[in-house]
């Protein structure tokens, strides 16, 4: 059986630790939520330390709150650097969002007002993070369900300017583009056209749910479903135009069996191989 391309990965969640350690399924790489592995003496870190010897690892953070006007949490940054130095991941990524104010943290990735002031704050915090880690980070585009009336910059232009100013890379979440395009009524193609493919180092694919409301439905990025056909179509289109990228299947709620997760990864693998079999074979060798 042909091996899965090294470009294709899945999000590693706690219920699957033993499966990946004991059975070593054929997958290119694994992505973890950084904060779950900040304790070096924990069982979780010991599992990750074992798995990093079998797979490449990417660290995906949710707690730096890069869009907040609060100062960067230096203890959080110190813990992240220790993890990064120990694991030496493929990528370190965070979100175009905020989650703290006056030292109080929320259990959500909250949307930014897209203004010049917010752009300055976000870029400054990306610079601080990259300087502290001594490496590039990736910034992920969000899914969102509301927008600010005083926003003056389209999200795609805001994200592009962050990459220009800071030299960060981008983690392009195609499900988030699809979901937010519906919720806010913008054109997903316009969004993707504004993103220089050279900035994109990683792609996320996930599933969403439709939440019906009296005033109309809203799409929620739950990471609890298979990837939708429209998102597969966006992925095929983007890869065909721009070439292969490290691609991750995310599944965070109603977590399925490893076999279901790996079957989703195989779909991404099939698209890449159909479009770029030669280059992929060369990379794999």
Is 117 within 8 Å of 74 (Cβ atoms)? Answer: no
Q: What is the pLDDT of residues 145-171, one digit of tens each?
A: 778 888 999 999 999 999 999 999 999
pLDDT digits (tens, 9 = 90+) for 38-55: 999 999 999 999 999 999
Q: Is 171 helix (H, G, I), strand (E, B) or coil?
A: strand
The SS3 assignment for 248 reads strand
Work out the pLDDT band at 277, boundaries 50, 70, 90.
low
Of 75-84, 125-134, 187-196, 269-278, which range is least confident?
Answer: 269-278
Residues in CB range of 219: below 8 A, 6 or more apart: 178, 179, 182, 183, 208, 209, 210, 211
Q: Is the pLDDT score of 2 beyond 80? A: no
- Sign of the CA dihedral running 120, 164, 29, 129: negative
In this predicted structure, the answer to whether residue 278 has a pLDDT above a threshold of 60 is no
> Which is nearest to 29 in space by CA: 6, 46, 48?
6
Q: Stretch 70-97: mean pLDDT, rounded? A: 96
- Which pLDDT score is estimated for 4? 87
* C-beta separation of 55 from 85 below 8 A: no
Cβ-based neighbours of 202, under 8 Å, separated by 6 or more: 58, 91, 93, 138, 169, 171, 172, 245, 246, 247, 248
Q: What is the CA radius of gyration of the chain?
A: 18
Q: What is the pTM of this model?
A: 0.93
**Is the model more confident about 32 or about 105?**
32
How far is CA 34 from each of CA 39, 48, 80, 112, 201, rounded to the nearest angstrom? 10, 11, 7, 22, 18
Average pLDDT (228-246) is: 97
Strand 169-173 and strand 138-140: pairing?
parallel
Give the pLDDT of residue 276: 84
Distances from the Cα of 115 to the Cα of 51, 56, 159, 200, angstroms: 42, 37, 12, 23
Q: How far is CA 170 from CA 92, 110, 140, 190, in A?
A: 11, 18, 6, 17
Separation between Cα atoms, residue 180 and residue 51, nearest integer Å: 34
Q: Provide CB contacts within 8 A for 138, sequence distance 6+.
A: 91, 92, 93, 94, 168, 169, 170, 171, 201, 202
What does pLDDT average to over the chain?
Answer: 92
DSSP 55-105: SEEEEE-S-S-TT-SSPP-HHHHHHHHHHHHHH--S-EEEES-EEEETTEE
pLDDT in tens, 97-148: 988 777 777 777 878 999 999 999 999 999 999 999 999 999 999 998 778 8
- What pLDDT sits at residue 84? 98
Bridge partners of residue 172, in order along the sequence: 203
């Amino acid at each position: 059986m042909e091996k899965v391309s090294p470009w294709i990965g899945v999000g590693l969640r706690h219920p699957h630790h033993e499966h990946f350690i004991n059975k070593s399924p054929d997958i290119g790489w694994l992505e973890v939520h950084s904060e779950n592995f900040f304790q070096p003496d924990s069982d979780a870190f010991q599992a990750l330390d074992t798995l990093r010897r079998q797979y490449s690892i990417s660290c995906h953070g949710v707690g730096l709150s890069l869009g907040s006007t609060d100062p960067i949490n230096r203890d959080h940054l110190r813990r992240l650097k220790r993890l990064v130095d120990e694991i030496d991941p493929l990528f370190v990524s965070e979100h175009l969002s905020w989650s703290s104010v006056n030292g109080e943290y929320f259990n959500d990735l909250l949307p930014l007002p897209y203004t010049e002031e917010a752009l300055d704050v976000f870029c400054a915090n990306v610079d601080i993070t990259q300087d502290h880690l001594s490496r590039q980070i990736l910034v992920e585009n969000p899914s969102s369900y509301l927008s600010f009336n005083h926003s003056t910059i389209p999200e795609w232009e805001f994200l592009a300017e962050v990459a220009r100013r800071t030299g960060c890379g981008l983690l392009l979440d195609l499900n988030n583009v699809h979901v937010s395009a519906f919720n806010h009524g913008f054109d997903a193609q316009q969004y993707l056209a504004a993103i220089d493919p050279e900035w994109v180092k990683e792609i996320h694919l996930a599933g969403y749910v439709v939440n019906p409301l009296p005033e109309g439905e809203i799409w929620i990025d739950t990471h609890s479903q298979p990837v939708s056909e429209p998102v597969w179509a966006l992925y095929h289109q983007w890869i065909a135009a721009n070439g292969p990228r490290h691609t991750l299947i995310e599944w965070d709620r109603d977590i399925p069996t490893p076999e279901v997760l790996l079957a989703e990864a195989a779909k991404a693998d099939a698209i890449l191989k159909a479009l770029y079999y030669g280059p992929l074979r060369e990379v794999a060798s």
